Amino acid sequence: MRVNSMKDHIVFYKETQQGPYPGMGGSTEVFKSWAEIYEPSTKDFQIGSLETSKVNITVIIRNAYPEFVPNVNNTFVVETGMYQGIKFNIKSVSPKDANTIKVVGTQWE
């Protein structure tokens, strides 16, 4: 289990659209979790079609199914560590093993 390496705190948000124009919506907090954060691998860059000009990270969280399953319509903010305060779009979600989920994100514009 990767619990000992989950040292950063992240918050997941659901982006809501409340008007006819982009950016008129808001964010609703849906889940908080401890996470392990590291740089994406070459495979993560290929799967998520990540841009090298932006900040990209891979996050490992505990599997909280059915309470919460992240999807590409969500965003997350890292609240601790080197990426503190940066908002990320989710590019891909995949199971890491029976107890964890891998989330790849790129910096929100």
CB 90 within 8 A of CB 102: no
pLDDT band at 17 (very low <50, low <70, confident <90, very high): confident
Please state, in angstroms and rounded to a whole number, the distance separating the CA atoms of residues 9 and 78: 6
What digits encode the pLDDT tens for the residues 26-52? 889 999 999 999 998 887 777 767 777
Q: In this predicted structure, what is the pLDDT of residue 47?
A: 72
pLDDT band at 3 (very low <50, low <70, confident <90, very high): low
1: pLDDT strictly greater than 60: no
What the chain holds in terms of domains, given with CATH numbers, is 3-107 (2.40.10.270)
